[in-house]
A and B are shown apart, each in its own frame.
Chain A
Amino acid sequence: MTDVGRHPKIKLHTMSEVIAVEGYVGNFNVSILKRARYVDEKDCTACGDCAKACPVVRPDEFNVGLSTRKAIFTPFPQSVPSAYVVNINECLGHNPSVCAKCMDACEKGCINFHMSDEEIKERVGSIVVATGLEPYDPTELDEYGYTRFENVLTSLEFERLINAGGPTKGELIRSTDRRRPKSIGFIQCVGSRSVRKGGNYCSNVCCMNTIKSTLVLKEHYPDVNIKVFYIDIRAFGKGFEDLYMRSRRSGVNYLRGLPGTVEELPDRSLRVAVENTASGVLEFHDLDMLVLAIGIKPAKSAQKIREMLGLQLTPDGFFLEAHPKLQPVDAATRGVFYAGCAEGPKDIKESVTQASAAAARSIRLMHKGEIITEPITSVVIPGQCKSCGICAEVCPYNAITVDVKKKMPALINSAACAGCGTCAAECTFDAIIMNHFTDDQIICQIDTLLEDKAQEKVLVFACNWCSYAGADYAGVSRLQYPASVNIIRTMCSGRVDKKFIWHAFLKGAPVVLVSGCHIGDCHYIDANHWTQKRVQKLQKRMEKLGIKPDRLQLEWISAAEGVRFAGVMNKMEKIRQEVSSQEIADTIKLLNRRKKQALSSD
Chain B
Amino acid sequence: MEENVAENISMSPGQVVRIGVYVCHCGLNISRTINCEYVAETASALDGVVVSKDIAYACSEPGQQEIKEDILEHGLDRIVVASCSPRLHEPTFRQMIQSVGLNPFLLEMANLREQCSWVHMNEPDAATQKAVTQVKMAVSRARMLWSLAGERVPLTKRTLVIGGGIAGIQASLDLADNGYEVILVEKKPSIGGTMAQLDKTFPTMDCSI
Contact = CB atoms under 8 A, between A and B. Distances in A.
Interface of A: 1, 3-5, 7, 9-18, 26-28, 30, 32, 37, 62, 64, 74-76, 78-81, 85, 122-133, 135, 156, 159-160, 162-164, 166, 208, 211-213, 215-216, 239-240, 243, 299, 301, 305, 323, 326, 337, 339-342, 347-348, 351-352, 354-356, 358-360, 362-363, 365-366, 368-376, 414-415, 435-436, 438, 440-441, 444-445, 447-449, 452, 457, 464, 468-469, 471-472, 474-476, 478-483, 486-489, 566
B35 to A, nearest CB: 14
Contact of A216 (B111, B136, B164, B199): B199
A64 to B, nearest CB: 8
A27 B195 contact: no
A148 B115 CA distance: 52
Given A76-B190, A212-B202, A366-B159, A355 B148 contact: no
Nearest to B157: A366
Chain B contact-residue range equals 35 or more
Interface string B140-169: 110111001111111111111111111111
The 8 closest A-B pairs by CB, nearest first: A340-B167, A475-B114, A359-B174, A355-B170, A79-B190, A130-B168, A9-B176, A130-B163
B198 A159 contact: yes
17 contacts: A1-B169, A14-B190, A14-B191, A18-B160, A27-B155, A28-B160, A74-B190, A80-B191, A124-B160, A125-B158, A337-B171, A339-B167, A348-B201, A372-B3, A445-B140, A475-B119, A488-B137
Given A125-B157, A448-B136, A474-B119, 9 more contacts: A3-B173, A27-B155, A160-B199, A208-B202, A213-B199, A240-B202, A339-B167, A352-B170, A483-B123
Interface stretch (B15-23, B50-58, B70-78, B84-92): B84-92
B186 A372 contact: no
B86 A489 contact: yes
Nearest to A445: B137
Contact of A351 (B4, B136, B167): B167
Nearest to A77: B209
Contact of A133 (B150, B168, B194, B207): B194
A90 B147 CA distance: 63
Contact of B200 (A135, A212, A355, A489): A212
A132 B87 contact: no
Nearest to A64: B197
B59 to A, nearest CB: 11
A162 B199 contact: yes
Given A372-B4, A372-B152, A449-B137, A475 B85 contact: yes
B183 interface: yes
Contacts of B166: 340, 348, 351-352, 355
A351 B196 CA distance: 14
Contacts of A240: 202
B55 to A, nearest CB: 20
Given A12-B184, A76-B196, A373-B151, A128 B164 contact: no
A358 B180 contact: no
Contacts of A444: 140-141, 143-144
B64 to A, nearest CB: 17
Given A79-B190, A372-B2, A159 B178 contact: no
Contacts of B189: 14-15, 37, 74-75, 79, 85
A441 B146 CA distance: 10
A103 B163 CA distance: 31
Given A478-B121, A480-B121, A356 B170 contact: yes
B167 A352 contact: yes
Contact of A18 (B139, B162, B182, B202): B162
B208 interface: yes
Q: Which of B88, B122, B179, B199 neighbours the largest number of chain A CB atoms within 10 Å of its CB?
A: B199
B182 A11 contact: yes
Nearest to B176: A9
Contact of B159 (A215, A362, A373, A483): A362
A124 B160 CA distance: 6
Contacts of B4: 372, 375
A211 B205 CA distance: 12
